[in-house]
A = this chain, B = another copy of it.
């Protein structure tokens, strides 16, 4: 089968690889229908994710059809249409029992990382009963691909950790796909203000279209002042960090109101300054989280009831044959205006 293979830093190729087989009785093999590329795949390609070694098939998102199931799989059978979660969860370990699937002792984010992933014609899914979801009748499959990772990430790490509430103010620092996913799901809770912050006017325009009540271009170095002015000098109740660099985390500290929350989504490569000399008495909460995908059932229901339109995030479509082009398009988002790209497998 065809598969996009990581060959080491800066190096990848579309290769011919054998179809994966069952390893454990709880595994399923899924014939992929649609997949996509994540910002994390670009991190891997930079060499920033040491758990992902050369030879790995990338990808942790997508939908497909069950092709084979292990003897202990009870929730699915061959032919079922399924959504693949980016996180594999046994459901039984100490962390799964407290709904922290991201730290499953035999799972977590392993797909396209420590085991082969979804940018291929077939993929092996461990802990299939807990890690796949039946596709609701009539659901749009492209929209569903957004539920593999980006929407639960925005919702769990940004919106739920950030305790977004009706009438509150939210700043979204970074309007790439993940920040926009946070924005779309923040609307579940009817905040009064959603302030979108980015360096790119194109992304700010998208944020506005998605429901931001105000936008701030941080390129002039005065984003904090702009946010304080928009909030009558109170700051925001929730600051969602969706970039992953020191400067954006710094901005979050400058704009969070007393009693507010900084919800970190960004994947950080270096330490940041935490200004406890200013924040120690400000009653703030700072959260980090790797998506647990515990919100996937909720997201499926909001999708089916049209509370959510994830297809807005899709800007480009490719065949698996052309996945290298898809990577180019996705990696150069400033020029291509790419948000999420769909790969038909």
A residues within 8 Å of B by Cβ?
25-26, 71-72, 74-75, 90-92, 94-100, 102-103, 129-130, 165-168, 187-193, 213, 244, 249, 258-259, 264, 266-277, 279-290, 292, 294, 297-302, 304-305, 307
Contact = CB atoms under 8 A, between A and B. Distances in A.
A72 B75 contact: no
27 contacts: A25-B71, A25-B72, A71-B71, A75-B92, A91-B97, A92-B129, A92-B130, A94-B297, A97-B99, A99-B99, A100-B259, A168-B301, A187-B190, A189-B190, A192-B307, A244-B280, A267-B281, A268-B276, A268-B277, A268-B280, A269-B277, A271-B273, A272-B274, A273-B274, A283-B287, A283-B289, A283-B292
Contacts of A191: 305
B192 A304 contact: yes
A129 B91 CA distance: 10
A259 B95 contact: yes
A271 B274 contact: yes
B271 A281 contact: no
Contact of A190 (B98, B269, B304, B307): B307
A247 to B, nearest CB: 13
Nearest to A276: B268
Contacts of A266: 276, 280
As for how many copies of this chain the complex holds, the number is: 4
Nearest to A289: B283
B283 A102 contact: yes
Q: A-side binding surface: helix, strand, loop or mixed?
A: loop
A317 to B, nearest CB: 28
Q: Which 5 A-B pairs have the closest CB atoms?
A: A167-B301, A192-B305, A72-B72, A281-B290, A268-B276
Nearest to A213: B305
A285 B286 contact: yes
A25 B71 CA distance: 8
Nearest to A266: B280
Contacts of A289: 281, 283
A324 B71 CA distance: 42
Contacts of A187: 190
Contacts of A277: 268-271
Contact of A283 (B192, B268, B273, B290): B290
A283 B263 CA distance: 11
Nearest to A304: B192
A249 B276 contact: yes
Contacts of A168: 301
